[in-house]
Amino acid sequence: MADIRTALVTGATGDIGLAITKALIRDGFQHIALSGLEEDILQTMVADLSTESCSLVSFPVDLLNAEEADSLFTKVSEALGPIGALINNAGITKDNLILRMSDNDWNLVLKLNLEACFRLCRASARSFLAQRFGRIVNISSVVGFSGNPGQVNYCASKAGLVGMSKALALELGSRGITVNCVAPGFISSAMTRVLTDAVKEKLLSNVPLGRMGLPEEVADAVAFLVSTRASYITGTTLHVNGGLYLM
């Protein structure tokens, strides 16, 4: 079976994106393309994380731009050769109660979290089908399954990723391509660090393990799903939420 050790990680500049990159380096990937908006952070990651056995290349793009989203996978392939794994990690929130949510806030979240992922999956499918190998991991969320007040746009986008991934798993499986999701719960990251202690305490009261997850714990789930150890797993979601979804 093919084992192409080149990956594309979107949303690479965030805490989870950085942890995913480090996990792929640890697991023997030879080339990793990093995509994000903050070009300076991408360049720092390339300088700090590149090794003799793994080269990193930055691709600063705005995935809200359909043309840039459509062309990213091709640009990475032209620069690094055949890609074996696509990790769709880019995402944003624009929270508000539905009566106060604007069309713009709805559209921005769906456009980045779901539509950009669709565009990258479509572009990668052409290449993966030809090489008869590929790993796609889409980062969903626990709220895509449970719902969350004030996040109808975010919940819809993350639930949409799950349905899309299941359909793609059925379409692409016969060519050795797996498509899965990882659904984090409350993870210690820039997104959760802005919460007040009172809010954090309330959130953690619903987590059986009693703590927030670490970006590295999400990254380990992603690294597993893109590895040969997960070659018979497709169309599923690996939940990383400390038991939150059980509540």
Catalytic residues, which ones?
154
Burial class (CB in 10 A: 0-12, 13-18, 19+), 16: buried
CB 4 within 8 A of CB 84: yes
Q: What phi and psi, each to the nearest 5 degrees, are found at residue 29?
A: -65, 140
What letter represents residue 72's amino acid?
Answer: L
Q: What phi and psi, each to the nearest 5 degrees, are found at residue 222?
A: -65, -45
Q: CB under 8 Å to 176, separation ≥6 — which residues?
A: 1, 2, 132, 133, 134
Neighbours of 147 (CB within 10 A): 12
Structure tokens at 164: 């899309």
CB 145 within 8 A of CB 183: yes
Q: What phi and psi, each to the nearest 5 degrees, are found at residue 220?
A: -65, -35
